[in-house]
Amino acid sequence: MPGSWVPLLISLVGLLLFLYCLLARHAAVRLHDRHFTVQTPLYPVTFSYRRIESIRPVTFNKIFPPEQEKGTRVRFYQSLWGKTAVVVTLKKYPMPLWWLQLWFSSYLLAPKSAGLILLVDEWMALTRQLELGRERLRESQQRR
């Protein structure tokens, strides 16, 4: 019977979206001695502290003004617009930008330069820990 596959396709898409949402809850920034990892639902990417040029807190709506977004996105991300994000400006990405754009949300990559927009609840703690990681790496390199 023609068209009998449509309900199956809709169910499969719904299941995939549900699984992605479950996995998205495990997205995180993991800090290590020499690098940090951005763990996305499908693909983790490791960044060396040496790649960091600067770390600064910025209100999310300063980076992505809501008035420049489409109506659906404004409503979907409404709870994020007033939050503080940690902007990690990088010297360069560890892999090609097109590859990162394939795996990362457009809200995770800085729009005007090489960098990350990390929207976390404890932005002050993340900023401090990233700075400490950079400092420890510098100190270990100076001892050599």
- To the nearest whole number, what is the mean pLDDT of the chain? 81
- Mean pLDDT across the stretch 130-141? 87
Residue 127 lies in a domain: yes
- The pLDDT value recorded for residue 16 is 66
C-alpha 61, offset from chain centre:
16
User: Taking the model in full, what pTM does it have?
Assistant: 0.76
- Element spanning 14, H or E: helix 6-24
Q: Count of domains in the chain?
A: 1
Cβ within 8 Å of residue 103, ≥6 positions away: 40, 42, 43, 45
In this structure, how many other beta carbons lie within 10 angstroms of the beta carbon of residue 56? 10
Q: Identify the sign of the CA torsion 34, 91, 125, 44.
A: negative
pLDDT digits (tens, 9 = 90+) for 73-124: 666 667 777 788 899 999 999 999 999 888 887 888 888 889 999 888 888 9
CATH number for the domain including 19? 2.30.29.30
Closest-CA residue to 105 (of 42, 54, 26): 42
Residue 84 lies in a domain: yes
Is 20's pLDDT higher than 60?
A: no
- The pLDDT value recorded for residue 97 is 92
According to the per-residue pLDDT averaged within each range, which of 13-27, 38-52, 89-103 is highest? 89-103
What's phi and psi for 113, nearest 5 deg?
-155, 175
Residue 116 lies in a domain: yes
Domain housing 65: 6-143
Confidence of residue 129 (pLDDT cuts 50, 70, 90): very high
Confidence of residue 26 (pLDDT cuts 50, 70, 90): low
Residue 1 lies in a domain: no
- The pLDDT value recorded for residue 39 is 84
